Structures are given as C-alpha cells and as structure tokens.
Amino acid sequence: MLCSFGNPNTIGNGEKRVSAMATKGKMFAGCTVALVTPFRDGEVDYPALEASVDWQIAQGTPVISPVGTTGESPTLSHEEHERVIAVVVERAAGRAKVLPGTGSNATTEAIRLTKFAARAGADGALLVSPYYNRPTQEGLYAHFARVAESTDFPQMLYNVPARTGRNIDPETVERLSKIAPIVAIKEASGSLDQVSDILARTNLTVLSGDDSLTLPMLAVGAEGVVSVVANIVPRDVSALLSAFERGELAEARRLHARLFPLCRDLLGLAPNPIPLKTALSLLGRGNGEMRLPMLPPDERARESLRRTLVRYGLMSEGA
C-alpha cells in the first residue's frame, strides 16, 4: 500500500521502529559540509575531489554532503552523480559520514539515486523537495513517502523553497516524520517560525540550511547546519556549534558575528556556488571552474569577495 509507513495510526512495533530510526538522525547533528564538485576542462576533477574530502576530514568535519546544490548536481550526468557519491564514500572510508544529495523532481529518479547511495555505503541521503514541477502538499507527501518505502535507509528532507518553488509545510513534515527512514530535515525556508513549528510537531533532527541563520536556529532547537561556508572555514563553523552546545552563548554570538560577513558574501553576491568557488580559487584551493549556466562573477563582486576574505584574515591585503 502506498505511503503505509506514513499512517498516523501506526501503533506498537511500527511506532517503535519510527522512534528507533529517528535516533539515527542524531548522527547528522553538528557540522555537515555541502561539498563543492571540482571541475577541470569540463570534466569532474576526481583527484581534486578526493583531496577536498581529505582536507575536510583533517579539519575535523564529521559529515560530508556531496552532489547537492553546492556540488552543482543539476549539471552532473547520472553517471557522474553516482561516481561522485562512490568516490566520496570510498575516500572517506569511515573517517567521516557521507550524506549525498539524491533528490530529484522525478520520484523514480530520486528512488534510483537513493538506492545507489545505500549500495555505495553512504550513511544517509539528502532529498531536496521536487523542483520546477511544484507539486501540491499531498504530492510532496506522496513523493517522499514513496522514496522512503523504497529502501530502509536514513533520509533527510531538504526544504529550500527559494530554489524549488514550493515550501514543505510543517503539517506535511509532521506526516512524513512518522515514516521510519525519514530522520531529519535541512530547513532553508528562512523562517524561524517554521523551524519552531516543525520542532513542536516532530522529533526530527533539524539542521540549518542557511549559514547566516545557524545560531538563531540553534536557539530555537536545531542541532546543526549543512554549511556552505564550511568549505572554507569548517573549524570555525564547528566552533560556533560547540560553543552553543556548551552553553557559552557570548562566544557563540562572537563567532556568529565573525562568520556573518563571510556567510553573507558567499551566499549573497551571486547564486551558490559561484561566490564559493571564486573564494576557493582566490585562496588557492581550486580553479573556480563551473559548468554552464553558472558563470564566474563580475569583477566588482570578485573584488568585494576578496575584501571579505582579507577582513576575515584568510588573505593578506596585497594578495
């Protein structure tokens, strides 16, 4: 029966299964880096990808999330998407958890990618809300429920209405939270009221999908972030999370204020990952290559980003 895991009247063993699976969401608490996909001459640069995984692990990043928006997944072929997942899993080799993006606006494709991630040895799947076709709330529920029924594999919903054109309403999230494989949600609606509503309705692990809102979201009950800025300063992002967890609120606020200009420019000067890849190239950690329709920023935006990196202390004034 379609969506049987989501039956709100489930009792007994079904409720225990949902509760047991929900605890798996805690393994994604903390800092998850939304990893870039490096390119060279139009092809995925797999050696650079492996080096990026090694660098993140050396920095102490606990969870790596490849092939999401930051990883330019819309421009990857199906073969490339799968190979990036496999390479990251193999390179991480258990040293960090791997949470690849496996979402699609086609339910059958999301199922295929999620099953592949499970077979490849990933620790869970990040499933963006279907984009462009803008389903109803019932359609969203049926989509995620069908994916969850396809494999007993931890899954994180990803709500980013600015990119998908459709919000996953808290009522829909509540229904989905009763389906055992759905253990967490990356919330990028920009609404603290929505985050609070989800936390009041469910026991899902909630992660910030906006770097600049990480501290406010922690204050209402979120447990981490899927971070773009962690591609550059993962230790600083983790330090903010740790300070909040220890109850050192003044230190958490200080780190938030320090990170904020970097978060603002990496996500505000141009669509992600244009500023991020440009910043990495300015720091000598990549060539900045993107795939069409993404293009490098204009010189004004590039200079603004350079000044932000200088003020943060990541570059010298004359660099």
Residue with tokens 């984009």: 131
Whole-number Å distance between alpha carbons of 111 and 222:
27
Q: Coil, strand, or helix at residue 159?
A: strand
- Pairing mode, strands 125-128 and 155-159: parallel
Cβ partners under 8 Å of residue 78, min gap 6: none
Whole-number Å distance between alpha carbons of 234 and 249:
19
Alpha helices in the chain (DSSP H): 13-22, 46-58, 78-92, 107-120, 137-150, 161-164, 170-176, 192-201, 214-220, 234-245, 249-268, 274-282, 299-312
Tell the burial category of 310 from Cβ atoms under 10 Å away from its Cβ (0-12, 13-18, 19+): middle
Just list the catalytic residues: 158, 186
Residue with tokens 């000044």: 307
Q: What proportions of the chain, in percent to the nearest 5, are helix, strand and coil?
A: 50, 10, 35
Whole-number Å distance between alpha carbons of 83 and 311:
38
